[in-house]
Chains A and B, each alone.
Chain A
Amino acid sequence: MSFLELKDLRIHFPTDDGLVKSVDGLSFTLERGKTLGIVGESGSGKSVTSLGILGLHKGTRARISGEIWLDGEELVGAGVEHVRKLRGKKMAMIFQDPLSAMHPYYTVGNQIIEAYRIHHDVSKKVARKHAIDMLARVGIPQPDRRVDSYPHEFSGGMRQRAMIAMALCCDPELLIADEPTTALDVTVQAQILDLMRDLQRDFNAALIIITHDLGVVAELSDDILVMYGGKCIEYGSAEDIFERPEHPYSWGLLGSMPRLDREPTERLLPIQGSPPSLINVPPGCAFHPRCPYADRTAGRSQTEVPELLETHGGHRVRCHLPSDQRRGIWENEIKPNLEAS
């Protein structure tokens, strides 16, 4: 059995306007030491998924079904207290904006010490020593002094390093990073990504990177899962997704990514329209109102929800277009455009 396995995970939120299907039947597996990138627009269900794995929707109004298996343990049906004990220790999370994600009234050291001591029965002194070690490990200079600083006294990059130190302080086996570099300067982004790669290798953790930035996943991921409207619409190795993507939405993502090797005069190729409302998901394929190829499916896009089907070697796509037709479009229409421009 895989280290982490999601089976048909659904997380729905009842609201006054209707049922919000934030995550709607998501399945994937992840092994130790491997990295999965989850990509998608805002509101595609990426963050809800990660909070769901951590069990942070328990006790809220969210309706959760499906299965989450972590190291042989099922978490959806597990008790609140049981999952709480796993949180921070077995699985930890790095959040997007470390300034708002850290408590402004406590020192960085205190927050790491708190995270460590909740799972380890040690004295404050021992925990403090550990916090200093962790800060040193993530590359914060003068950690024995900085441990007593407040988050607002750190720079953005340093704060994110401290956040990573906090997440890693209990040596988690699963690390989820939700947009870990989005709030950072570009120069700092690369440093943080390098750091995460090094740490993942050292700790041999399973890593999930959630982002809307394909550059980030290209840097780190072994596998990539593209989400749209709460569903996985394409899943494959990083090579599959970047070299031979088969879903029109993935093509759109690649087309809207700025690239250095492209002529500056060329425009990006954005995806038209806006992400679907999760209350009134379009019937049939959720992407069909924005899909330039929807008219080639003989109306099935509008009426029938496509299945996530394997095309070859673990590469799975949720699309009504026949696989060879998709490959043809990619090779003949999309790829030349991306490369020529």
Chain B
Amino acid sequence: MVTYIIRRLIAAVLMLVVVSIVTFSIFFVVPRLAGVTATDFANRYVGSKGATAETVVALADKLGFNDPLTVQYGRWVKGIVAGSDFDTGASIEHCPAPCFGYSFITKTPVWPELLDRLPVTVSLAIGASVIWLVAGVSTGVLSALRRGSFFDRAAMGVALAGVSLPIFFTGMMSLVFFSYKLGITAPGRSYTSFVDDPVRWAYNLILPWITLAFLYAAVYARLTRAGMLETMGEDYIRTARAKGLREPTVIVKHGLRGALTPIITIFGMDVGLLLGGAILTETTFSLPGLGKYAVQAISANDLPKIMGVTMLVAFFVVMANLLVDLLYAVVDPRVRLR
């Protein structure tokens, strides 16, 4: 068990290194191969200020765009691990580790901004995931047990709608209906920190939670239903019944337990991805989270920010996967041997 955990941990670190190389390559190597020069890179930072050609060339040199790519990559990684200093022209800004770079457009280091946005995204992701896990799995179980019934058909119909309808549609519709027409939920752009007022926090987030959870619950209901239909036909279910166990015990302890493994996998991935920002939900409800931050960074062509968010998402996904692998060993004892 211990070696299993250590192996998984090493794999997770290696994965992060690979992700950092790929991320760096996407933003610095690939454009180079496509013919973008160091001067073009520097040009982004001066933007439309109308700098002379000499200033831009000098800036490219100063920002290190002329250094070999490996040096640039090393500098970027060193910043994340040990921190670094940035010459903003007016002063030298120190950026402590983990330093994901400094945005010359907004003249701010990236990491504190990410930290600032993180609670919003975490609140959104955790709340929504609890709702969709409970709703999706219980719907799936009931559907499987009453296969072909009215409930099953209705639930699967709703699930199909859930998978098909995009967030910006369901989100908009629910905002219009519940917030603006009925006035029972908070309007967009509402966010209160959990620390400040937990009740307000939940009230403001309930609509985004449900909207986001609807999409995922649909997927989970279908997955759970398929898994339950399979496990409830297994021989060990018949054994459990033959032992005289009560039907709820048979369903939950023996049936659901067997169907849970694929659900844990996809749940880890989904939550990991969401922690990096639910772009559509945050945009629709104007929540100041990582997803909205990413959209703004992309629109502004702000490289350090985009790379910062990308690395953070990657970190969450890798961590979520690590957690899933460890959970696997707990859920399925046969995994430990491998």
Contacts and interface: CB of A to CB of B under 8 A. Distances in A.
Given A150-B333, A150-B334, A152-B334, A101 B243 contact: no
B245 A118 contact: yes
A88 interface: yes
Interface of B is mostly: helix
B257 A84 contact: no
Contacts of A93: 239, 242
A226 interface: no
A115 B243 contact: yes
B239 A118 contact: no
B202 interface: no
A105 B331 contact: yes
Contacts of A97: 235
A105 B258 CA distance: 8
A144 B234 CA distance: 29
Contacts of A87: 241-244
Nearest to B236: A103
A101 B333 contact: no
B334 A88 contact: no
Nearest to B258: A105
Interface in A113-145: 114-115, 118-119
A268 interface: no
B225 interface: no
A104 B258 CA distance: 8
Given A100-B234, A101-B239, A105-B257, A114 B244 contact: no
Interface residues of B, number: 19
Interface size band for A: 20 to 34
A236 B266 CA distance: 58
Contact of B238 (A95, A104, A118, A150): A95
A131 to B, nearest CB: 13
A86 B234 CA distance: 22
Nearest to B245: A118
Contacts of A115: 243-244
Interface string B208-247: 0000000000000000000000000011101111111110
A114 B257 CA distance: 15
Contacts of A118: 243-246
B254 interface: yes
Contacts of B257: 103, 105
B242 A104 contact: no
A89 interface: yes
Contacts of A54: 242
Nearest to A99: B235
A88 B242 contact: yes
Counting from the closest, the 9 A-B pairs by CB-CB distance are A88-B244, A87-B244, A100-B235, A115-B243, A88-B243, A103-B236, A101-B235, A93-B242, A101-B239
Interface of A: 51, 54, 56, 84-89, 92-93, 95, 97, 100-105, 107, 114-115, 118-119, 150, 152, 166
Given A104-B236, A104-B258, A150-B334, 19 more contacts: A56-B241, A87-B241, A95-B239, A95-B242, A101-B238, A101-B239, A102-B236, A103-B236, A103-B240, A103-B257, A104-B334, A105-B257, A105-B258, A105-B332, A114-B245, A118-B243, A119-B244, A166-B239, A166-B243
